[in-house]
Amino acid sequence: MDFGFSEEQREVQALAKQILGEQVTAEKLAAYDEYAEPRLDRELWQQLVSAGLPNVAVEEAYGGMGFGFMELALLMEEAGRTIAPVPLAQHCVSALLPIQRFAPDAVKEEVLSAATRGEVLLTAAMLEHLNDDPATPLVTTATREGDAMLLNGAKRAVAYAAEADAILVAAAIGDDVAVALVPSTAEGVTLAPIQSTAFEPQYDLTLDNVRVEELGVIAWSGGAEIMAWAAQRTVAALCAHQVGATDYAMRLSASYTSERQQFGVPVATFQAVGHRMADCYIDIECLRLTTYQAASLLDAEAEASTELSIAKIWAGDCGHRVSYATQHVHGGTGIDRDYPLWRYCLWMRHNEMTLGSSTVHLAALGENIAAGGALFK
C-alpha cells in the first residue's frame, strides 16, 4: 500500500512552495513588524487566488479545485514555512469550509463563487471573552426577525476582521446556536484593533442589533456542530502551519551552524550542537506525523478528536523546544531583529496558544482517555 502523497497533492504543495517561496522574503515581512502596516499582502493573495490555491478544497461547481482537507493542510504547511502574510487559515479553513458544508445552496452559490474569483475575503470569529470554545457562544446572541437575524454581543481577537468583507459568527438562540455571515461594514458592527506578538491584524468585534439578511444566514440551528467542525479543522491547519514554521527554523539553523566557525571548524561539528539539531528533527517529524494523521482523518470525515489533541500538544511542545534550540545554536544572532529567526519563534508561540495550548489539549486528551474514548475505535 502506498502511503505517500498522490501526484495531485504533490503538485499542490509544489505550486504553493514556488509562489510563496518566491514572493515572501524577509525584507517584505519586515514591512509589517511592530504593526507598521496591516499584515496582509494583497498582491500575494491575488497571485494565490489566480493560481487557485485558496480554493483548493472548494467544489468545482463553485470554481474551486475540488480537492479535500489534506491538500489544504499541505498548503498551510507551506504558508508556515514562509510565515506568509495572508489569511489562509481564516479564509480557507475557518470560513469557506463550514459554509461549503453547512450553508443553504443559495448562500453557497453567492459566497463560494465570489470567493473563488477573489472578490470576497472571509474570516471567522472563534473566541469570546473568557470563552475559547467556538461551539458554545456565551456572550453573543441572535433573535429572529422574519427571514433576517439580529445579532448582539461581542467576539474577541478576530483575525483580519477589518480587512475581510464578511465574518462568520456563531450566536446563542434560545437553547440552540445559530451561525451567520456578517458583513464587516454592516450597521452596528464595531471593530477595535488589538495587537498580538505575531503582528497578525486582530480586532475585538462588537455587535449592536446587527441585521443579517437571509442570504447571510448559514444556519438557524445546529450551530454548535458547525463551529466544532470548523474549529477542528482550524486546529489542524494551525498544526500544519507549525510544521512548516518549525521545519524552516531548523533548516535555517542547520545552514547557519554549517557556515559559522569557532576554533577553525564549523559550529555544526560540535557534538552538543549536532545533538540539539537532531532533537529538533525528531520533534518536527513527530509533529509532522501526528498532523498528517489528524488531517487525513478529517479529510475522510472520520472521528479525529484524539489525533487532533495529540497533534496540537505536539505543535505546542515542539514549537517551544525548536524555538529554544534554534535560538541557542545561533547565539546572539538568533534574537537579532535583522535576522529572520525571531519572527518564526513568535509564530511558533502564536500557533501554540491559538485555540488551546498544549495544556488545554492535554487535559482534553486525558478526559477522553479516562472515559475510554481514546483507547479503541
Q: Which three cell numbers stand for residue 48?
A: 494565490
Domains of the chain, start order: 7-120 (1.10.540.10), 123-221 (2.40.110.10), 225-370 (1.20.140.10)
pLDDT (average), residues 131-145: 96
Q: Which three cell numbers stand for residue 4?
A: 505517500
Q: Are 277 and 345 in contact (CB under 8 A)?
A: no
- State residue 376's pLDDT score: 56
Which helix (H) or strand (E) is 173 found in, with range? strand 166-173
**pLDDT digit string, tens, across residues 336-354:** 999 999 999 999 999 999 9
* Three-class SS state of 127: strand
Q: Which three cell numbers stand for residue 245?
A: 514554521
Is residue 137's pLDDT more than 80? yes
- State residue 192's pLDDT score: 98
Q: Which three cell numbers stand for residue 253?
A: 539553523
Average pLDDT, the chain: 95
Q: Are 334 and 328 in contact (CB under 8 A)?
A: yes
**pLDDT digit string, tens, across residues 27-47:** 999 999 999 999 999 999 999
**pLDDT digit string, tens, across residues 86-132:** 999 999 999 999 999 999 999 999 999 999 999 999 999 999 999 99
Is residue 276's pLDDT more than 90? yes
**If we measure between CA atoms, which residue out of 340, 310, 313 comes closest to residue 326?**
340
Which residue's C-alpha cell is 498548503? 75
**pLDDT digit string, tens, across residues 283-319:** 999 999 999 999 999 999 999 999 999 999 999 999 9
Is residue 2's pLDDT more than 70? no
**If we measure between CA atoms, which residue out of 109, 233, 131, 231 comes closest to residue 179?**
231
pLDDT (average), residues 44-64: 96
**pLDDT digit string, tens, across residues 192-243:** 999 988 999 999 999 999 999 999 999 999 999 999 999 999 999 999 999 9
How many C-beta atoms surround the C-beta of residue 84 within 10 A? 26
Alpha helices (H) along 139-270: 223-259
| Dist CA 128 CA 136 (whole Å) | 10
**pLDDT digit string, tens, across residues 235-245:** 999 999 999 99
| Dist CA 122 CA 126 (whole Å) | 13
Q: Are 238 and 312 in contact (CB under 8 A)?
A: yes
Banded pLDDT at 260 (limits 50, 70, 90): confident
- State residue 1's pLDDT score: 59
| Dist CA 74 CA 33 (whole Å) | 26
Banded pLDDT at 377 (limits 50, 70, 90): low
* Three-class SS state of 373: coil
Q: Kindly give the pairing relationship between strand 166-173 and strand 122-124.
A: parallel
- State residue 246's pLDDT score: 98
